[in-house]
Structure 1
Amino acid sequence: MTKSNARQPRVPACRRAHRKKKRRQKDEETSEPEVVCPSLGRERSKKRVNCDSEMTPQQRKLDTHMFQCYLENLWMSFTEERTNSFTYLDCLWFSLYKKESFEAKVLNWIKKKRIFSKNYVFVPIVRWCHWSLLIFCHFGESLQSKSRTPCMLLLDSLQMANPKRLEPEIRKFVLDIYKSEGRPENEEQIYGIPLKVPKVPQQRNRYECGNFVLYYLNLFTESAPESFSISEGYPYFGPCRERLQKWSDVTCILVLQMPRA
């Protein structure tokens, strides 16, 4: 038997599995999250969402499914009084909006959320494999209001990556929301809505961004005022350093320890 015809040694199954896992991890780090939305556009169940499994240290980087599970469970833990002024958008809607075939559907789903009747609207954003939190503030108020200033807050746990690079996409998104609602404001006024990037606690590794978004959201619902005007300085919603340190690895302990169905 010649050398060229000799049977190549078989790679053990465990080694093949290890190589496959490494390739999958590399793909997840270099690509956009897969957009899977079997339940979008429908009313979600009031029952607690099953998040399938506990999060291990190796799974700290939340995918869209796990993030949405924790977000819904966290929301279920709030009292009705606490959430009357708030609502949130599904974590995939911003990504789906950027797909031409989904744009009109997403705007229709948002219309059903009646965001202009709420003081604050949470918009989780996942772009370039990184999570950040956009908050619409007082969108139902006149853009000339002095007591309740319509504005946007962008909370990002990796400010060194320049969160303002999202601004063109955010502003187009907001413009289309206003248009789909038939609002009286013109394009110039809508583009003039301030977009602020407050200083917030920062992540310490590449895995924690999704956890930080949940963390910001929880803290914001606890401390956001009924109204504010940015002409007087918008409120600081970050936690004190001592409180932050009590959250081991900032894994949103309140959420992760919550019993699941």
Structure 2
Amino acid sequence: MGNEKHGDDPAKPIDLASSDPGSLKARKKKISKQEAQKLRDFRLTAPCFLGNIPCRQRSKRRVKSKNSISKQTNRLDSGAFECYMEKLWSSFPEEKRTSFAYFDCQWFAWYRKASFREKVLSWIKREQIFSKKYVLVPVVCWSHWSLLIFCHFGESLQSETKTPCMLLLDSLEIANPRRLEPDIRKFVLDIYRAEGRPEKKEMIYRIPLLVPKVPQQRDGEECGKFVLYFINLFVEGAPENFSIEGYPYFMRKDWFNAEGVECFCEKLDSFGK
């Protein structure tokens, strides 16, 4: 796709955890005592909750130093994630890349800060996402990674064969992925408006947001790796025309195995060498 790197990024780092009122503790979804205890235990041990993910710096020297997974916490920060993503993207065949676009991993987080919103929307406009079949949107909120995918946004919202919809892939389902839905809905509406699209707000808000049952991380596993692996498998297996009728396609609990994850992580490690 040739993601553009913009020299006018906000200079101030964004504290993704402390600046957000929507902490896990504030969730309204009712869960059992057993689930609550499991979530508390996971939060204490999982790398994705060990502190805040630092904002990516544009210095090549800084990025190079972050182009690895921390040996102490096994945590993938935003600078390393973006470096891995660029290497992964370049490994895809050209015919795949022409159907896809992807966002910088910080754009969604920056969009949620009112002072950066217009700038992020202007960057997205340059990507011409309405000419792509799929758009990959890495999401990092509350120090946890998940993957949002826009499908067929350039098609009519009434289309049945190429259904405009969104997929939210989260390796930590117990944390309630749909807590992001209000922000996602507003994000999508603003993208449509920034592009000058004719669709009405009511129709845009009815674009289906699907949460497929994807494999879940275990204690100590890195959510950022799962997002990169979801991207890798989705690019490889995405159907020519995505429709609700064929959902969830290959995105099932067994869509990859432990050996596949291990091999992919080895591939990521080779990117950092």
- Aligned residue for 2:58? 38
- Measured against aligned partners, the alpha-carbon deviations of 1:146-176 in whole angstroms (never above 9, x if no partner) come to 1100000000000011000000000000000
Q: What is the CA–CA distance in structure 1 between the aligned matches of 2:155 and 2:110, rounded to whole Å?
A: 27
Superimposed CA distance per residue, residues 67-86 of structure 1 (whole angstroms, 9 cap, x where no aligned partner)? 11111111111111121111
The whole-number CA distance in structure 1 between the counterparts of 2:197 and 2:146 is 27
Judging changes above 3 Å, is the alpha-carbon distance between structure 1 residues 198 and 173 closer, same or farther for their aligned structure 2 residues? Answer: same
**Structure 2: unaligned runs, 5 residues or longer:** 1-47
Counterpart of 1:176 (choices 190, 193, 211) is: 190
Letter in 1 for 2:227: V
**Counterpart in the other structure of 2:258:** 245
**Separation in 1 of the partners of 2:272 and 2:179?**
38
- Aligned equivalents of 1:54 and 1:101: distance in 2? 31
Residue of structure 1 aligned with 2:236, choices 215, 218, 222: 222
Residue type at the aligned position of 2:259: K
Conserved in 2, the CA contact under 8 Å of 1:86 and 1:119? yes
Q: Aligned partners of 1:216 and 1:59: how far apart in 2? A: 22
Q: Confirm or deny: 8 A CA contact 2:66 2:79 kept in the other structure.
A: no
* TM-score (norm. length: structure 1): 0.78
Asked whether the equivalents of residues 224 and 237 of structure 1 are also in contact (C-alpha less than 8 Å), the reply is no
Q: Name the % identity.
A: 54
Structure 1 CA distance for aligned equivalents of residues 221 and 214 of structure 2:
17
Moved over 6 A (4+): none
Aligned to 2:181: 167
Residues 1:116 and 1:248: Cα distance change in structure 2 (over 3 Å): closer
Residue aligned with 2:114, SS:
coil
AA aligned to 2:99 is S
Query: What is residue 6 of structure 1 aligned with on the other side?
Result: none
CA contact (8 A) 1:117 1:140 kept: yes
Counterpart CA distance in 1 for 2:272 and 2:145 is: 25
Unaligned runs of 5+ in 1: 1-27, 40-44
Pair member with larger Rg: 1
- Aligned 1:204-219 pairs, distance under 5 A: 204-219=218-233
Bigger drift between 209-218 and 198-207 goes to 198-207
Shift in alpha-carbon separation, 1:85–1:130, aligned structure 2, 3 A: same
Alignment length (residue pairs): 225
Could you say what secondary structure the match of 1:148 adopts?
coil
Cα offset for 1:215?
Answer: 0.5
* Kept after mapping to 2: 8 A contact 1:51/1:70: no
**Where in structure 2 are the equivalents of 1:119-198 lying within 5 Å?**
119-198=133-212
User: What TM-score results when the alignment is normalised by the length of structure 2?
Assistant: 0.75
Cα separation, 1, equivalents of 2:104 and 2:143? 17
